[in-house]
Copies of this chain bind each other. A is one copy, B any other.
Amino acid sequence: MTAYLTRVIRFSAAHRYYRTEWSDERNYAVFGACANPHGHGHNYTLEVMVAGVPDPATGFSVSLAQLDAVLRQEVITSLDHQNLNFAIPEFGDGGLIPTTENLVIWIWNRIATLLPARLVRLRLYEEPGLFVDYMGEPSPPDPDRPRFV
């Protein structure tokens, strides 16, 4: 009787797509306006889905208070009102580009083991017209792993 609870949070951040080891020409060819100097920004929306069996006494599949505390401390405090290229070492010069794909994977790696329930999916919206889902490293085929329809 597993239920999949999703909490939705928001944060605002700046970022720039640029590889310092490439020429400006190559950066613009690959990243377009995302290579503009000084960056731009977004209101991100993050959906955090965790799995759990509702407790017979409380009806809760997860402690929302604990879930919210982890998200506040690990996601909001780290990313909200920040410039990702400067605030997150992995996205610094010569590192990973802070695309939506790389950012959602970064968040997964940061929170997966800290959450009070099993993390099953992150969905990160960069804007209403673009979002990325991540479900962790592919594990070997496991018939018990919940499947969506």
Residues of A within 8 A of B (CB): 1-10, 12-15, 17, 19, 30-34, 36-43, 49, 51, 54, 56-61, 64-65, 80-83, 85-87, 96-102, 104-105, 120-121, 127-135, 137-138, 141, 143-149
Given contacts A41-B12, A58-B99, A82-B40, contact A138 B127 (CB under 8 A): no
A147 (CB) vs chain B CBs: closest residue = B147
CB neighbours (8 Å) of A42 from chain B are 12, 41-43
A61/B132 contact (C-beta < 8 A), A86-B38, A105-B54, A121-B149 known:
yes
User: A51-B149, A61-B132 are contacts. A5–B40 as well, Cβ < 8 Å?
Assistant: no
Q: CA A5 – CA B82 in complex, angstroms? A: 24
Is A36 within 8 A of B133, CB to CB? Answer: no
Q: Nearest Cβ in chain B — how far from A129, in angstroms?
A: 4
* A14 and B41 in contact, given A101-B59, A149-B121 (Cβ under 8 angstroms): yes
A26 to chain B, nearest CB (A): 10
The distance from the CB of A44 to the nearest CB of chain B, in whole angstroms, is 9
Query: Does B6 lie within 8 Å of A65, measured CB to CB?
Result: no
Assess A97 versus B65: contact at CB under 8 Å? Given A7-B129, A12-B41, A104-B3: no
